[in-house]
Amino acid sequence: MNDMATSFDLIVIGAGSGLDVASAAAEHGLRVAIIEKDRMGGTCLNRGCIPTKLLIHSADIAETIKNASVFGINVSGFSVDFDKIMRRVNGITDTDSDSIKDGLKQSENPKLFAGDCKFIGNKRVAIRTNKDEEEQVITAEKILVAAGSKPRTPKLKGLSEVDYITSDEALRLRKQPRVLTFIGGGYIACELAHFFGSLGTEIHVIQRNDVLIPNEDKEISKRFTEIFSKKYNVHLGYTAESISKNNDTNNNDSETTFRVEAKDKSGKILEIDSDQVLVSVGRIPSTASLDLEKTGVNVDEKGFIVVDNYLETNVKGVFALGDIIGRYMFKHNANLEAQYAYTNMLHNDGKIPVDYAAMPHAIFTSPQIAGVGFTEQELVKKGIDYVKSTYPYIHTGMGEAIEDRDGFVKFLVDSKSRKIFRLPHYGN
């Protein structure tokens, strides 16, 4: 390795929302390096919100066709060109990602380093752009770590011996699974279950909790679970114990299938055979390969980078944002933090704490879910006095128009001021 370091004013690790900071800093006159080992655009463009929403639109159309008779439209049936759906979605995202990369290749500032990186010393970063090439070393007084997150791999017997998929691979499949088993029942699993299930795949969801999407408001989780369970095979209260390849099938399918064994609290065993298994048990920060300890940056017990109210780590001049700090793992939050990170890195004497109020979110399943602020169980846990009110969609004009008899809106407000609660600041 060539230990001679090239100096920059700012190094940005991650070309998702970090790219916004890199471009703005370059326009401000700083010499900027941006490092990305994967496709340009980060998780959202390549493996997250953009491709999933494009896929789910096809699922929504299929579901509309299935329910068309309710509105006096008789449809005899439809067929699914799964490969065409996937080629369309990946064509859109890949074109956008390649366009970003082409633009950066032609730019000297910010300068793109496409490869893996790790810290090798105090604010010193080694980059390997090709396995056969020597590592390059760069350094800067200011560094922004925005490397995102990746699917978590659970400790599950047999998992390392089978070719299971995560949400990353699910977005690149070329063949539609006949039967698909999800391990995990959070929002990622439910969005992808809606996509595959609406197109005709038999869905099984193994969920250790007593409801799906348990982090949502309890009434939302309960109602959603009831609706989803009518459409798909939802196995609540079960924990996956093992996974194996199973050749002894009775489905007249010559292809090898997966067998997942799960167990509930009483010891009851559940065995499910399917031709694909998707593991969706949360996401972890992409910190393990960065060797952050070499530059003195602290992480918490889960591996998330610890930052203060201004997004600065314990090392002066080193900032972090987005999924890798684990506050709100949404693209719109990373974009919000990018604005603060840019301001706070360039104006050390006028730093501004990040204001997260109010952080909305949405889950694009069927039915769709959206929320902002505290859940009811959070208010109860905090001992906050509140008033709640719910209103069914069917009692609205649009609710009647679309025959929505399940949906509702729920408000949780301060019992005195009648205002929606603001979420608190993070940090010290």
Fold of 5-56+82-151+283-350: FAD/NAD(P)-binding domain (3.50.50)
Q: To the nearest whole number, what is the mean pLDDT of the chain?
A: 92
Residue 247: predicted pLDDT:
66
Average pLDDT over residues 27-55: 91
pLDDT of residue 64: 95
Q: Write down the domain spans for the chain.
A: 5-56+82-151+283-350, 159-279, 373-414
Each residue's pLDDT tens digit, 361-417: 999 999 999 999 899 999 999 999 999 999 999 999 999 999 999 999 999 999 999
Confidence tier at 7 by pLDDT (50, 70, 90): very high
Whole-number percent of the chain with pLDDT over 70: 95
From residue 283, alpha-carbon distances to 22, 106, 123, 225, 251 in Å are: 25, 34, 27, 22, 34
Identify the top-confidence range among 20-29, 100-109, 244-253.
20-29
Print the SS3 string covering the chain.
CCCCEEEEEEEEECCCCHHHHHHHHHHCCCCEEEEECCCCCHHHHHHCHHHHHHHHHHHHHHHHHHCHHHHCCCCCCCCCCHHHHHHHHHHHHHHHHHHHHHHHHCCCCCEEEECEEEEEECCEEEEECCCCCCCEEEEEEEEEECCCEEECCCCCECHHHCCCECHHHHCCCCCCCCEEEEECCCHHHHHHHHHHHHCCCEEEEEECCCCCCCCCCHHHHHHHHHHHHHHCEEEECEEEEEEEEECCCCCCCCCCEEEEEEEECCCCEEEEEECEEEECCCEEECCHHHCHHHHCCCECCCCCECCCCCCECCCCCEEECHHHHCCCCCHHHHHHHHHHHHHHHHCHHHCCCCCCCCCEEEECCCCCEEEECCCHHHHHHHCCCEEEEEEEHHHCHHHHHCCCCCCEEEEEEECCCCCECCCCCCCC
pLDDT score, position 421: 75
pLDDT over 50 (residue 223): yes
The answer to whether residues 143 and 22 touch, using CB atoms and an 8 Å cutoff, is no
Q: How confident is the model at residue 426 (pLDDT cuts 50, 70, 90)?
A: very low
Is 122's pLDDT higher than 90?
Answer: yes
Q: Out of 63-72, 116-125, 190-199, 248-257, which region has the weakest mean confidence (pLDDT)? A: 248-257
User: Which bin fits 193, alpha (ψ -120 to 50), beta or left (φ > 0)?
Assistant: alpha
* CATH tag for 159-279 (out of 3.40.605.10, 3.20.20.70, 3.40.50.720, 3.50.50.60): 3.50.50.60
Q: Does this chain's domain 5-56+82-151+283-350 share its CATH topology with 159-279?
A: yes
**pLDDT, tens digit, for every residue of 291-324?**
999 999 999 999 999 999 999 999 999 999 999 9
Predicted TM-score (pTM) above 0.85: yes
